[in-house]
Homo-oligomer: A and B are copies of this chain.
Amino acid sequence: MKRDLFEKIKEEAKTYFKNAKGSHDWSHVERVYNLALRIGKKEKADLEVIKLAAILHDIGRKIEDETNGKIDHAEIGAKMAKEILEKYNVEKEKIEKVVYCIQTHRFRKNKIPETKEAKVLFDADKLDSIGAIGIGRAFLFAGEIGAKFYDKDVDVKKIKEYSRDDTVYREYMVKLRKIKNKMFTKEGKRIAEERHRFMVEFFKRLDKEVEGKL
C-alpha cells in the first residue's frame, strides 16, 4: 500500500477521536500502533494488515459510549472500517483480514483472535492497559466516570463496573493484574510480564502510602 493512501486512511480514522476522552484518545491508538508493529515484526505477521487494524481498531468507541455500551465498539468499528477501506479501494482480501482483527480485538467468548495479525492487535491493545501507562489510564478513566480514588473497602464482585461506586482497586483486582496471562504472542507475553511487575510494585506501594508506612 502506498504511503499516502495509508496517511489518508489514518487521517480519516483520527476524525473519530475529535472529542474522545483522555483514556481512549488518539494517543492510545498511536501507542497501540507502535506496540502492534513491534510485536508484529517479531511474529513475522503481515504488517500492512496490522497497521490498518491498529489505526482503525477503536473508531467505533464513540458509538459504544453514546449508546451506553449497547453497541459493541469492536462490532460496529469493524463495519465502519470495512466501509472506509472499500472507499479507498483496498483489496478485498486485505480488508477481510483487517476487519477480522478489529472484530476480535476485544475478546468475547465467540470472538477469540485466531489469526496471527488479530493476536498481535489484541496483545498490543491490552498492553496499553498495564504498566505505568495502564496505571495512569485506569485512574484517568475512573475520573471520567466519576468513580472513587482507590477504595479497598469494597466487595469487588459486587461493584458495578463504570458506576460511581467503582474504584481503580476493582479494575486492578478483576482485570489489570490478569492481563499478562491473556497474551497470545510470545513478545506480547514478554512485554506484559515486565509491565506487570512494575504495576504490582506500584499498587503495593500505594497500599503502603495509604497505610502510612511510606
Give chain A's interface residues, CB within 8 Å of chain B. Answer: 21-23, 25, 27-28, 31, 34-35, 38, 131-133, 135-151, 168, 191, 194-195, 198, 202-203, 205-206, 209-210, 212, 214
Contacts and interface: CB of A to CB of B under 8 A. Distances in A.
A132 B38 contact: no
6 contacts: A27-B150, A132-B205, A132-B206, A135-B202, A140-B140, A140-B168
B140 A23 contact: no
A149 B205 contact: no
Nearest to A150: B136
A151 to B, nearest CB: 7
Given A22-B147, A195-B214, A136 B133 contact: no
A210 B143 contact: no
A40 to B, nearest CB: 13
Given A34-B212, A214-B195, A140 B142 contact: yes
Contact of A149 (B27, B131, B148): B27
Kindly report how many copies of this chain are found in the complex they form together. Answer: 2
B137 A135 contact: no
Interface centre among A38, A136, A139, A195 (most CB of B within 10 A): A136
Contacts of A21: 143, 146
B143 A22 contact: yes
A145 B21 CA distance: 10
A146 B202 CA distance: 24
